[in-house]
Amino acid sequence: MLLFLLLCRSGVAWAAPEQSERALLRQLSTPLPDTGRVRVLNQLCEALHDRAPTRALRHGEQAVNLARRVRDQRGLLLALLNLASCYANLSDGPHALELQRQALLLARRLSHPDGLVRSYTGMGGVHHERNDTAAALLHYRRALELAYQPGVQVRTQLVLFGNLGNLYFSLQRQPEGLVFTRRALALARRTGDVAGESQYLAELGSFYQQLNQLETAEGLLRQAVALVEPLENFRFEAGHRELLAAVLLQRQELPEAEALTQQALGLARRINYQERVLDAYELLAEINARRGQYEEAFAWQRRFQALNDSINSRSRLQTLAALQTRYETAEKESQIRLLTERGQVAQQRNRALLGTVAALLLGLGVAGLLYAQLRRNRADLAANNRALQEATHELRQLAASKDRLYAIVAHDLRGPVTSFAGVTELIDFYLQRGDEQGLRRLPALVRQSAHQLNHLLDNLLSWAVSQTGELAFQPERLPVGALFDEVTALYASAAEAKQLTLHAATTAPDLAVWADPHMTRTILRNLVGNALKATPAGGTIQLSAALTATSTGVQLHVTDTGPGMLPEQVAALLSTDGPTSLSYAPRSGTGLGLPLCRAFARRQGGSLSISSTPGHGTTVSVTLPASQGNDGPLVIVR
């Protein structure tokens, strides 16, 4: 499985030798005809789409817009294909497919066979990345039917054959996978493409390694390394060395495997190729584990986990940047259309003014009537402009709020998903060591991660319903002791896992609140969950309650012995009713939970406050109406 993942990360295609980005940017700064500018923008997008897709997006969008404006159909076809590759690399599969469909329709109109094959191959690649193998195979077969037509470039054929080989092998159809990979290898050799020859030799070596023909796999991979070394193509060389190291690891030739992996790691760091660095860390962890050097293996595994989290975060940020670029492009196109419409309106107004001047010759009466009409038109236009500005301001506020919510969801989902990934690694680790005791502990970890994920989704649903104003408020008498027992039982296992003491102080038997059960339980779950995250191992979390000074309300306290917060941090948390920006959150996980608690407290006629001192823990207090008997809230008559 490790080798197959390495193969997938190496990619199913590679870029042509890149022109200097600086040289292309210098060309853009010089006067160029429109079609020449489209060509240079396409070259920039193609040169950057693999190693810097976020930067490539800007050039690709400019190429598409300019090609459409000047009606450069062939330039537009290439721009759509390059831009689709950028969005595919940024994991925006739906938009990549839409761009490839546009390219496919344009290639059909132009009778462009290379564009047709590239479009089908690109769509197949997106479906393959999304594990829709049936759709991927359908598009690859359509491309294969056209691959031998005149006009189809050799590079396009190489990409198609290589992708087909990978897909068939992932479907466990090894004979067909070997046929297409060997076909790509033969084509690369025939055209003198040394980089392509080394790549497909490496893929064949990986295939044979999966078939457990290790000697054949080792020979092919050594050929691949020998071919790529003189080219100084460090991306390919690092990948080939890691694949060869993995085969040698399986053959128990650990010294050479470690040497190759260290060499690959040096090359990957030299070009800042983080994905290949990640693979090297995983290989070194496995090599040290095989030697029984578990401390070194654990150290490499920790590096792997940290870098993997960083890469995942970077991927999410790149995807968000791509969405932002799309939004800005759409907004600019809308502004261009609006300016065009305004220009047309201005032209019409000028014609009307000319008519008015002509009409002035007919008499002052007609001139006065036209002047009054012109005043009314101007007033209507000003009103329309004001309405448009107000609508634009509201849309910007909505987009900003949505972006904050997206960032919070991505941040809060990271913890449970990372926990699930960690459990899978622990399963493999315990199985290798034969540690049955460790395996028995895993269900509790899985339940804890599932509970955290369910808690986050429950918060999101509650927040959405509260924002629509459709959340029903149905208060009843709720004994405080029963509420505390319920929440401590819910989080007992999580507290034990973190070596924390979670307990509720004894309350009077008749102490109760007049509140909505769902809202109140949601408040307590969020406050205890935040306290668990903030409190270090060995700490204490205590739940307590007391009547207010006027005896009309009950204060519910959640106190932890965590690191505490500065006054400005507390003020930042209490300064907004919406989802809190992560850059201001002093404690992990308060992005949505705390505003939700405040909203639910206010909905029930209560309030929320925070008391915290750095180094002395934090107390969050929620005040709710007190209840007496079964007749409703306690009312004091003065």
pTM: 0.46
pLDDT band of residue 582 (cuts 50, 70, 90) is: very low
Architecture of the structural domain at 476-625: 2-Layer Sandwich (3.30)
For the cut 60, the answer to whether the pLDDT of residue 157 exceeds it is: yes
Task: Pull the structure tokens for residue 155.
Answer: 């590079």
Closest-CA residue to 268 (of 309, 218, 307): 307
Task: Identify residue 199 by its one-letter amino acid code.
Answer: Q
| Cα-Cα end-to-end distance for the chain | 76
pLDDT at res. 254: 93
The mean pLDDT value of the chain amounts to 82
- Percentage of the chain beyond pLDDT 90 is 44
For residue 106, CA distances in Å to 40, 80, 499 come to 21, 10, 63
For residue 633, CA distances in Å to 281, 285, 376, 477 come to 61, 62, 59, 8
190-206 pLDDT, tens digit per residue, is 999 998 899 999 999 98
The residue among 2 and 339 whose pLDDT is bigger is 339
24-39 pLDDT, tens digit per residue, is 888 888 888 989 999 9
pLDDT at res. 6: 36
The residue among 14 and 363 whose pLDDT is bigger is 363
pLDDT at res. 185: 92
Task: Name the range with the highest mean pLDDT among 260-264, 333-337, 423-427.
Answer: 260-264
Closest-CA residue to 46 (of 94, 9, 14): 14
Q: What's the average model confidence in pLDDT over 210-225?
A: 92
Q: What's the average model confidence in pLDDT over 380-389?
A: 86
Cα radius of gyration (the chain): 32
Q: What's the average model confidence in pLDDT over 298-319?
A: 78
What count of other Cβ atoms lies within 10 Å of the Cβ of residue 272?
9
Give dist(CA 278, CA 311) in Å, integer.
9
Strand partners, 540: 501
Please report, for the chain, the start and end positions of each structural domain, with discontinuous segments joined by +: 17-111, 476-625
CA 320 to chain centre: 7
pLDDT at res. 394: 73
406-419 pLDDT, tens digit per residue, is 655 665 565 566 66
pLDDT band of residue 282 (cuts 50, 70, 90) is: very high
For the cut 60, the answer to whether the pLDDT of residue 14 exceeds it is: no
Judge whether 565 and 534 are in contact, CB under 8 Å. Answer: no
What count of other Cβ atoms lies within 10 Å of the Cβ of residue 110?
14
The residues, any chain, with a CB within 8 Å of residue 31's CB and separated by 6 or more, are none
Identify the CATH assignment for 17-111 out of 3.20.20.70, 3.30.230.10, 1.25.40.10, 3.40.50.720.
1.25.40.10
pLDDT at res. 343: 66
pLDDT at res. 581: 47
